[in-house]
Structure 1
């Protein structure tokens, strides 16, 4: 738990006092108290101010800022400022500048503009982290370190090419092993010297950002770039730990951001933090799934909500204001799914450059008489009242969905079978079905232990890594239920096809063989026709995108295709394996089917809804010291009545007892602690 020094849900956000003068600082102090702000993230993009030249460091402004905040009851999340290098550094050391996907050398500008394999960047970023840690190691205001900011973006420069070849040597040991893993006899790509290997971009193997002639090299380059950026994080982290071993270290992630393998990153972070920026039209189940993924990165450990906007954003095509109550609702949604902080970008709006229209607690008008400020202040008071009652509370889910970044990269780089196949969307379809049924669900990685779950779902598990199929077999044989889908078990970790028939190493546990894969055009569908009712499954359901033409090899055929040349062949099977079952969903079905399937499977395991709430109302449970806390979140514009069954609860926000039925206002929240069962 990170909240020991300030034992409550931290409340605050990014603060940029260097953009303002002393009169504004005084007003900030007053307004922060009114809003209940108790944590400020500072020094995020101040490298140029902190280090005006190679040998000079200026921290007086930061000393003054941290001291002033602490005197006024505000702690700090102290960033290392290394998210954007200074102009003098780019001029003097051009190796720090990235080369883009098209092979063009960048000039100074923007942010995340440093090559992760630049010796210059690594030298000065590490040195900056050390200077800060040494200076502030004993300051009582410092709660946590924030390394750089929103890592991302690939580089294709000569430094990266050389580092890539060194990375490949370490991974494969020999060119013979690499040539075999990449299948380089295809198109005369055999490598005779490590220097023959060039980075895969628009000048070599790739085009369009995600299309490639050679999946092996492109997949490895994504692994390498994720590892390279992670090495930069670790360099700074290790410097911070050298001076402050007891202060936790994090960096802010970005949900389902495609370029970095966050499961690998989370192993190196004391706590996961992330930035949540849904649009007005983002399904709230998708936001819930992203929170669950952030929780799942570190085996269910609570995370930090590092950024969200109090109202508008500035970088989406349509930047709608959050309607009254929605900021509070979405803040508590984060807490419900595992956040132990509620923080914003930003505390005061900038007056220039690209973020001047990004929302803030303190708007450009500069006073507290705005709707946004009033809502922020009200939330601040509630979080003070909640104290530490929710800190370190965990999920008690019995259902888990597997997500894997390398599997995602493999699918996105695949030449076929359909441009309509989107891994994240397919995963969300299953999460959304469970979410609508109010079934508590975790998001986990392929290395996670499966034993604590009763149902594990692996949608579109295209890439099966060593040991995964065997762990699934053990899980199912002991009584678990495993669900996988079309386009699963196709390749190994090098993106080489597993011979012997799809779904490869999952063939034994699923009891089926997939002979063909049919890609359907967007305006065409097939049907999954039930042979007979099974649980909540009955009748016929539409399906599309891909249809696996499969044969049962011991599995029971539950549904068949309704049309085309494979009419009458299996579209849904279940295989008894030891004490458990493995389901195979051979196509991408409509939402109604997935809800019926998930309800059927959960009923078989006795897995019940958190609460049987109406459509548009989300229910989530956290457990601490054996005590259940249930969040009821109304995402609709109308009041909703939620039946509570035979339990008696107390609403932690109002102190009122709740039983039989709980009324939740439009965009309202109830946080219910179970007292007893009558």
Structure 2
């Protein structure tokens, strides 16, 4: 497997983060000191210009970029490269005063005032013109700078706009989606209910706070439109940059499982995926291991958006953040673990927000490498410098990839539809929690699991889990059928295949669209349990799993019953089934379609997961309870990452290879101290 190096000039991993020298132009002594300390911390790249528009263009048409050139020159002369952002994430006051259409309109129909950030209308022609002008100027002035390695488009794109321009755009978007046939829309959205039929697309309004919110198809299509509109805006910026600098890669920093945009739709426009990670470390409601492995899930989500190259950790806090409910400082050792976890999961960067704390405004107390103290002998600075040194030791691993054989299906459309559906319980749907919980169980077994969409190619995987796949996209059934008939092991859960892409219920039983044949079962009812209710899933050998929240009552067609309900009026009826399919590939490996009809804690399902993995020929690892494991693969070298999130030393068996961080050769047992990391290099 060949490497895919993101930045050949760096010859290793990127280490750095957001740098805001425009806040310190009156302090040349500080700017000079910054470069000295960056070199000491092993920083080889910084991100400039994220929120610099009012300094670039303090008055309309008056541009000042000389300071940026001076900073980029100085950085490059000292071996530090630049990721240059477009400044569209926050606008200068003069722009909003002259072009008020650039400001968003909220769900209440009122236009926002100037302020904060991410407050622009994606549809505004004037704002697009002003953005294109400044982007083009930056590309022309700095596109050939030897220190420039990447464009960073805007910042944490998000939000929605209900202004007249966006409403009109939404109506045109709908007309295109439904072939300019309003009857198709009415049928898809079932608008005869409550007499909500439309006669023309110009009658359709977005789901205003005081307007139409009872049509699930409308609510879902508005979310899709918001992604489409934001993607179109992002592409308008990318187009300007690519016309001038076609060879400079482009990214945009995503935000965890951000609910407002479907990142799968935006990812193809970007050369590299990047995201911002801010877990609530050392909280009081879960173990540190649980916090860390949930963060690993989010890394896997981002990795799955573009699996053929490493992703980027664009932002993380070196110490604390200033916007959590409790802004707790990272404990000693956590920073190293967090950065190395990102690398282990497939990132080729460890980057921070921010390099130096600002003296005032909203993020004056947000963590940074350099505190208001301004010294390089602080604990946080030392830990950042330690990461810089570690990244140099494992530089050969840059460009390698995580190659998983198992996958979890997670769709934004499905997520939105579940959030909106008037069914089940408003308090316990927990789609995201369900997906994360299952993913973590595979992680505990030392099995890497990608997070993919239901329309993604599944041919590289041997085991696929599709939790709560309530909404089926066009082609989802065919994709899952092909996977199983090619020998794959598939698990689906309750609440699968209830509606089509427009949220219309399937007729003839759930799961619909042919999935009932694939699994050999039909769900006749779904029972929603109160928090005090419990049932059980009983196996023939006497083993029991506890059922809570949801339980479907199945009609079994031609599937094998593996477990049945233990109580209630559906006692003895099927709760876990499997249908075996002879492989179409003539490999002798039969596919299996498992269906679990009730919600069971993921940790109780471990034996089922192990059975599926064994049938797929995937080995599990014997890991101590709080050790996280990942593997990156190069052309002839494998890099195994072990991270100990526990407070005690761990001993990991069956480990062989050289620990790149210590230089030690490991022949059988790896001893890993609390909050420590090992990177084991193995030649194939």
Same fold (TM over 0.5): yes
Corresponding position of 1:182: 189
Corresponding position of 1:6: 10
User: What secondary structure is seen at the aligned counterpart in 2 of 1:267?
Assistant: helix
Corresponding position of 1:381: 389
- Following superposition, the deviation at residue 479 of structure 1 comes to 1.0
Whole-angstrom CA distance in 1 between matches of 2:530 and 2:19: 49
- Following superposition, the deviation at residue 232 of structure 1 comes to 1.0
Aligned to 1:518, which of 524, 527, 534?
Answer: 527
Whole-angstrom CA distance in 1 between matches of 2:61 and 2:23: 24
- Following superposition, the deviation at residue 568 of structure 1 comes to 1.0
1:632-677 CA deviation, whole Å, 9 max, x = no partner?
00011111111125xx31001111101211011111000001258x
User: What secondary structure is seen at the aligned counterpart in 1 of 2:681?
Assistant: strand
User: What secondary structure is seen at the aligned counterpart in 2 of 1:628?
Assistant: strand
User: What secondary structure is seen at the aligned counterpart in 2 of 1:572?
Assistant: strand
Corresponding position of 2:585: none
Matched, 1:658 2:666: yes
Corresponding position of 2:636: 626
Whole-angstrom CA distance in 2 between matches of 1:184 and 1:7: 58
Whole-angstrom CA distance in 2 between matches of 1:325 and 1:74: 26
- Following superposition, the deviation at residue 457 of structure 1 comes to 0.8
User: What secondary structure is seen at the aligned counterpart in 2 of 1:164?
Assistant: helix
- Following superposition, the deviation at residue 53 of structure 1 comes to 2.6
Matched, 1:193 2:200: yes
Corresponding position of 1:84: 90
Aligned to 2:110, which of 95, 104, 115?
Answer: 104
- Following superposition, the deviation at residue 61 of structure 1 comes to 1.5
Whole-angstrom CA distance in 1 between matches of 2:668 and 2:124: 63
Corresponding position of 2:22: 18
Corresponding position of 1:151: 157
User: Contact between 2:444 and 2:623, CA under 8 Å: does it hold in 1?
Assistant: no
- Following superposition, the deviation at residue 545 of structure 1 comes to 1.5
User: Contact between 2:536 and 2:565, CA under 8 Å: does it hold in 1?
Assistant: yes
Whole-angstrom CA distance in 1 between matches of 2:78 and 2:128: 36
Aligned to 1:552, which of 556, 559, 570?
Answer: 556
Structure 1 runs (4+) greater than 3 angstroms displaced: none
Aligned to 1:605, which of 613, 616, 620?
Answer: 616
1:329-349 CA deviation, whole Å, 9 max, x = no partner?
110100001000110000001
Matched, 1:674 2:675: no
User: Contact between 1:3 and 1:391, CA under 8 Å: does it hold in 2?
Assistant: no
Matched, 1:247 2:253: no
Whole-angstrom CA distance in 1 between matches of 2:92 and 2:196: 41
User: Contact between 2:205 and 2:212, CA under 8 Å: does it hold in 1?
Assistant: no
Aligned to 1:348, which of 348, 356, 366?
Answer: 356
Whole-angstrom CA distance in 1 between matches of 2:100 and 2:143: 33
- Which 10-residue stretch deviates more, 545-554 or 241-250? 545-554
Q: Within 5 A, what are the aligned runs for 1:225-304?
A: 225-280=226-281, 281=283, 283-304=291-312
Corresponding position of 1:535: none
Whole-angstrom CA distance in 2 between matches of 1:300 and 1:219: 30
User: Contact between 1:31 and 1:368, CA under 8 Å: does it hold in 2?
Assistant: yes
- Following superposition, the deviation at residue 299 of structure 1 comes to 2.6
User: Contact between 2:465 and 2:492, CA under 8 Å: does it hold in 1?
Assistant: yes
- Following superposition, the deviation at residue 102 of structure 1 comes to 2.2
Whole-angstrom CA distance in 1 between matches of 2:47 and 2:460: 36
Whole-angstrom CA distance in 2 between matches of 1:415 and 1:487: 13
User: What secondary structure is seen at the aligned counterpart in 2 of 1:220?
Assistant: helix
User: Contact between 2:303 and 2:310, CA under 8 Å: does it hold in 1?
Assistant: yes
Corresponding position of 1:586: 597
User: Contact between 2:151 and 2:248, CA under 8 Å: does it hold in 1?
Assistant: yes
- Which 10-residue stretch deviates more, 338-347 or 299-308? 299-308
1:227-283 CA deviation, whole Å, 9 max, x = no partner?
111111101111000010000000000121111111111111000000011111462
1:477-516 CA deviation, whole Å, 9 max, x = no partner?
1211111000000001111111110011211110000000
Corresponding position of 1:390: 397
- Following superposition, the deviation at residue 5 of structure 1 comes to 2.0
1:513-535 CA deviation, whole Å, 9 max, x = no partner?
00001111122221111123xxx
User: What secondary structure is seen at the aligned counterpart in 1 of 2:347?
Assistant: coil
- Which 10-residue stretch deviates more, 599-608 or 164-173? 599-608
- Following superposition, the deviation at residue 12 of structure 1 comes to 0.2
User: Contact between 1:650 and 1:675, CA under 8 Å: does it hold in 2?
Assistant: no
User: Contact between 1:519 and 1:547, CA under 8 Å: does it hold in 2?
Assistant: yes
User: What secondary structure is seen at the aligned counterpart in 2 of 1:504?
Assistant: coil
User: Contact between 2:575 and 2:597, CA under 8 Å: does it hold in 1?
Assistant: yes
TM-align CA RMSD: 1.2
User: Contact between 1:299 and 1:448, CA under 8 Å: does it hold in 2?
Assistant: no
Whole-angstrom CA distance in 2 between matches of 1:402 and 1:393: 24
User: Contact between 1:42 and 1:77, CA under 8 Å: does it hold in 2?
Assistant: yes
Aligned to 1:141, which of 127, 139, 147?
Answer: 147
User: What secondary structure is seen at the aligned counterpart in 1 of 2:303?
Assistant: helix
User: Contact between 2:123 and 2:229, CA under 8 Å: does it hold in 1?
Assistant: yes
1:27-59 CA deviation, whole Å, 9 max, x = no partner?
101111110111010000011111223322211
- Which 10-residue stretch deviates more, 451-460 or 595-604? 595-604
- Which 10-residue stretch deviates more, 551-560 or 60-69? 60-69
Corresponding position of 1:617: 627
- Following superposition, the deviation at residue 205 of structure 1 comes to 2.1
Whole-angstrom CA distance in 2 between matches of 1:523 and 1:393: 48
User: Contact between 2:454 and 2:479, CA under 8 Å: does it hold in 1?
Assistant: no
Q: Within 5 A, what are the aligned runs for 1:446-485?
A: 446-485=454-493
Aligned to 2:576, which of 569, 572, 575?
Answer: 572
User: Contact between 1:300 and 1:395, CA under 8 Å: does it hold in 2?
Assistant: no
User: What secondary structure is seen at the aligned counterpart in 2 of 1:340?
Assistant: strand
Corresponding position of 1:48: 54
Whole-angstrom CA distance in 2 between matches of 1:456 and 1:508: 18
User: What secondary structure is seen at the aligned counterpart in 2 of 1:460?
Assistant: coil
Corresponding position of 1:210: none
With over 3 angstroms needed to count, the CA separation of the structure-2 counterparts of 1:287 and 1:300, relative to structure 1, is farther
Whole-angstrom CA distance in 2 between matches of 1:182 and 1:255: 31
1:604-659 CA deviation, whole Å, 9 max, x = no partner?
222112x42100100111111032110000011111111125xx310011111012
Matched, 1:641 2:651: yes
Q: Within 5 A, what are the aligned runs for 1:283-362?
A: 283-362=291-370
Gaps spanning 5+ residues in structure 2: where? 284-289, 583-589
1:528-574 CA deviation, whole Å, 9 max, x = no partner?
11123xxxxx6111121211111111011111111111111111111
Corresponding position of 2:494: 486
